Amino acid sequence: MLFIIAHDWEEGCECRKPKPGLFFQAQRELNLDLTRTSFVGDDERDGEAAAAAGCPFISIGGDVSLLDAIRELLGPRQVREES
């Protein structure tokens, strides 16, 4: 499911990060437990929004790749890299 924000930055809506409104919309529509729903992002605002919503946050970029984040999410399960 895709959640899109139709507001401009200047409108000050609750759904634009770092505000957590979009997280709460997803929580309602998908019946999520945000404390058990990890959010992966590459921006400081992503982490701020996740914290405001009570979500665990995994930051990617720099030394942490998306594959690293997936491995962290899956825990002891194996993640195969495509050759």
Does the pLDDT of residue 46 top 80, yes or no? yes
Composition of the chain by helix, strand, coil, percent to 5: 40, 10, 50
Q: Is the pTM of this model over 0.95?
A: no
CA distance linking residue 54 with residue 36, whole number of Å: 9
Does the pLDDT of residue 23 top 90, yes or no? yes
Helix (H, G, I), strand (E, B) or coil at 23: helix
Does the pLDDT of residue 81 top 80, yes or no? no
H or E element, residue 39: strand 39-41
Per-residue pLDDT of 65-78, as tens digits, reads 999 999 988 887 66
pLDDT score of 7: 77
